Amino acid sequence: MLLERIVSEGLAHYSYLVGDRNLALVIDPRRDVDDYIKMAAASGMRIAHILETHRNEDYFIGSMELATRTGAEVWHADRQWDYQYGHAVADGQRWKVGRLEIEAISTPGHTPGSMSYLLRDPAGIAWMLFCGDALFAGEVGRIDLLGADQAAENAGLLYESIFSRILPLGDEVILCPAHGSGSVCGEAIAERLWTSVGIEKKHNPRLQAKSKEQFVASLQTSHPGRPPYFRRMEKVNLEGRPLLGAQPSPLPLDARSFWQLSLSQNAQILDTRQELAFSAAHVPGSQSIWLDGLASFAGWFLGYDRPILLVGEGNQADRVAAILLRLGFDNISGFLAGGMLSWHMSGQQSQSIRTQIVQDLCRQIDGGEPVWILDVRFAGELDKDGRIEGAQHIPITAISERMDEVPQDRDVAIFCGSGMRSMVAASYLRARGWKRLSVVLGGMAGWRSIKCPLR
């Protein structure tokens, strides 16, 4: 028997491979499907079915890719939309994999046609529920993705799905959601790596609502935002798309070719190094997104219409490409071979962005210096972790829309939880002309550690 959770870091996306005897199925596969194929083959299993819990918006689903390479059948939830491949799932539909049985349970809300899948063990015991984006550890799925006008309706559907379909399955059933902590698909997913229906019933803050109305109302608060790339993911996930086969390796480029290509292709330059190295020197105009944050922020800061050139540390180009691939960014022109060292050795010019430690910022504030502080954290973090007196708040995901609020003629200290997102924002502004920027290292965590005054 096989029961594997495959984690896509960054997206905090969980897909699952379930198998018994010679058969297996995959739930919500990601686009780079080698792992599923290898794991199943290593256990002597054939992947026969691919089940989707909903039309995904945050990543490029691998259903067609996996189906083409294994002969498996694709089963879509959200039958209301017009899929160009695969079959639609019906509530109550069942599949066998070896001695296991899995049953579709309609759980709309996150999307209007979301499905969950209940796994029964060889003795017929209701064992695990693959609940997609309906219910997470400590959170429920977002209901705002189809637009504000449908949010209330979806919230109501979600209430019914959770309270009338999922909770009655029994406290003992183990829950396998599609995301863990860190995903943009839930506002505050808890870090419990495994959870159960009963744990959520007792402890999930959303499920403590006293009524449907209260539940619906509680979901009307702010959300992390909807990255622009979601629109594209929704579309390609309906269409299916040309197949990958072997994952392409980005082409190494020397410094001169890199720069020429960046001009001739009007390419986007993505730098995935840590924030410190980026601050010291980077290719002019490049966008900083540190590797572990790439899945979360690529969709906000990269576009699909221009080729991408990569700058990174060591040999991370393949990993970067794999992450971008999951988000549908296939158009990678190459990477800077030898990194910034070879850039400088070729006599190319670079830029830097100033950093400062929190002690410096404290001193500036205490000394009454007129520093303009830009806080790019999410709204929820302000309440939870505290605010800095006088700081201006523009969430990282709103920078592109609201950058005009940031002055160009004053010193701007950018501030987030740790310094990583600050550099993302700083590089975005720097490439658009802002020059008097500094990134506060350690961010709010550092700030609190030294007990600077918090509002």
Catalytic residues: 416
Residue of 83, 127, 159, 415 interacting with its own copies (CB under 8 A): 127
Largest CA distance in the chain: 71
Closest-CA residue to 238 (of 398, 442, 423, 56)? 56
Site for its own copies in 354-373 (CB under 8 A): 355, 357-359
Number of H helices, E strands in the chain: 16, 24
Site for its own copies in 142-161 (CB under 8 A): none
H-type helices in 391-431, by residue range? 399-402, 420-430
Contact 131, 107 (CB under 8 A): yes
Measured in degrees and rounded to the nearest 5, phi and psi for residue 97 equal -130, 105
Nearer to its own copies among residue 42 and residue 148 (C-beta): 42
Nearer to its own copies among residue 177 and residue 443 (C-beta): 443
Residue of 135, 253, 406, 414 interacting with its own copies (CB under 8 A): 253
Q: Which stretch binds its own copies (CB under 8 A): 81-89, 213-221, 252-260, 371-379?
A: 252-260
Q: Which stretch binds its own copies (CB under 8 A): 35-43, 74-82, 406-414, 426-434?
A: 35-43
Residue of 196, 272, 422, 438 interacting with its own copies (CB under 8 A): 196
Nearer to its own copies among residue 91 and residue 385 (C-beta): 385
DSSP 356: E
CB of 404 to its own copies, least distance (A): 29
Place of tokens 């790439």: 294
Query: Does residue number 138 form part of the binding site for its own copies (CB under 8 A)?
Result: yes
CB of 426 to its own copies, least distance (A): 13
E strands, 28-107, are 46-51, 73-76, 87-88, 94-97, 100-106
d(CA 175, CA 204): 13
CB of 375 to its own copies, least distance (A): 16
Residues 6+ apart with CB under 8 A from 363: none
Site for its own copies in 49-108 (CB under 8 A): 69-71
Query: Does residue number 330 form part of the binding site for its own copies (CB under 8 A)?
Result: no
CB of 386 to its own copies, least distance (A): 14
Measured in degrees and rounded to the nearest 5, phi and psi for residue 269 equal -105, 120
Q: Which residues partner with 372 through β-bridges? A: 412
Query: Does residue number 46 form part of the binding site for its own copies (CB under 8 A)?
Result: yes
Q: Which stretch binds its own copies (CB under 8 A): 156-164, 338-346, 373-381, 390-398?
A: 338-346
Site for its own copies in 306-325 (CB under 8 A): 313, 315, 317-318
Q: Which stretch binds its own copies (CB under 8 A): 184-192, 216-224, 225-233, 370-378?
A: 184-192
DSSP 173: P
Query: How big is the chain, counted in residues?
Result: 455
Nearer to its own copies among residue 70 and residue 154 (C-beta): 70
Query: Does residue number 9 form part of the binding site for its own copies (CB under 8 A)?
Result: no
Residues 6+ apart with CB under 8 A from 237: 55, 56, 57, 60, 61
Site for its own copies in 221-250 (CB under 8 A): 243-250
End-to-end CA distance of the chain: 55
